[in-house]
Structure 1
Amino acid sequence: MPFSCYVDGAVAPCSHGAGGLVIRDAMGIVCYVHGFYYAGLLDSFIFELMAFRDAIRWCSLKGLTEVMFYGEAKVVIEKIQRRDARDVKGGRILVELENLQRQYQGFGISFVGRSNNQMAHDVVRKTLSLLLASVESFDFER
């Protein structure tokens, strides 16, 4: 795969959350760093699902057609890989993810440990710290 996208999502104690992505090219050089802000939810499982959904959407908008997505939320990744949209919690988002995966055949999703996902985790922490309730997403400077 020409690109690797490291994804993370998290929830803050005061009813908001964030997702983040770090994209590296085939040489391992960081190409993009992007954060997503989510308001009004308190569930880390849902934030992780939303982070993957939004990362796939964002990559497709940028014209990236062959991307391997990595994340550290093993339970979430297993649900996505099993295409288990029957799950009541997150079912709609799982259906969206399944449709996106069908639409973009060059995308794959796999588990990676926290130590290999630290940059995405840091993007999420930075996004949470900004508390930009009026902003849904933004790019970080490299």
Structure 2
Amino acid sequence: MGYYKLNWDATIAKEASKVAIGAVIRDQMGLVVGTLQAQKVLFVDSFMAEAYALMLAVIFCRDMGIQDIIMEGDALQVIHVLNKATTDWSQGGVLIANAKMILNTLHSWSGSHVKREGNKAAHILARNTPSLEEDLYVLEDYPACIHSIILSEMM
């Protein structure tokens, strides 16, 4: 009760040197309270892309005033670094450390790995982000591209 679930994902458009990010925040009833679609020109590997996506998603949650969050991502390496007590000093590790600093200002948080099947909505948002002209933050609704996924997960 009172917890929110954050799923995030990132894809890389190598030809455009862009990272595309998708994130979905749900309340304890499974209702979508916000989505994020953003992109950034970066020359990165998949670890750094997922770490950057995590950081943006955490900032979005903080800005929404969320204090208790359960995070699920399909990037095992990112989840591993997030849950470690020590800092990974790679570029991606520093992004995760920054996200962790924000998370530590919240009441409570946890991060766990989920298979791609359990992260479908965030993945679809990320895949559809390059078609947008600007970043998209949606509150109390969600883009049409994930409508069928949200409905199937609510059943």
For structure 1, the residue ranges without an aligned partner over 5 or more in a row are: none
Q: Does 1:138 align with 2:136?
A: yes
Moved over 3 A (4+): none
The one-letter code sitting in structure 2 at the alignment partner of 1:11 is I
> Aligned partners of 2:36 and 2:94: how far apart in 1?
24
Q: Any idea what SS the aligned residue of 2:101 has?
A: helix
Q: Does 1:5 align with 2:6?
A: yes
In structure 2, the residue matched to 1:41 is: 43
Say what the alpha-carbon RMSD is for the aligned residues: 1.7
Q: 1:84 to 1:128 in 2, by over 3 A?
A: farther
> Aligned partners of 1:128 and 1:107: how far apart in 2?
30
> Aligned partners of 1:35 and 1:83: how far apart in 2?
30
Q: How many residues align?
A: 138
Match runs of 1:49-64 below 5 Å: 49-64=51-66
Deviation string 1:36-95 (CA, Å, 9 cap, x unpaired) is 211132322111001111111111101111111110001111011114423324232132
The one-letter code sitting in structure 2 at the alignment partner of 1:50 is Y
For structure 2, the residue ranges without an aligned partner over 5 or more in a row are: 143-155
In structure 1, the residue matched to 2:88 is: 86
**Hey, which of these two has a bigger chunk of helix by percent?**
2
The percent of aligned pairs where both chains have the same amino acid is 26
The one-letter code sitting in structure 2 at the alignment partner of 1:112 is V
In structure 2, the residue matched to 1:98 is: 100
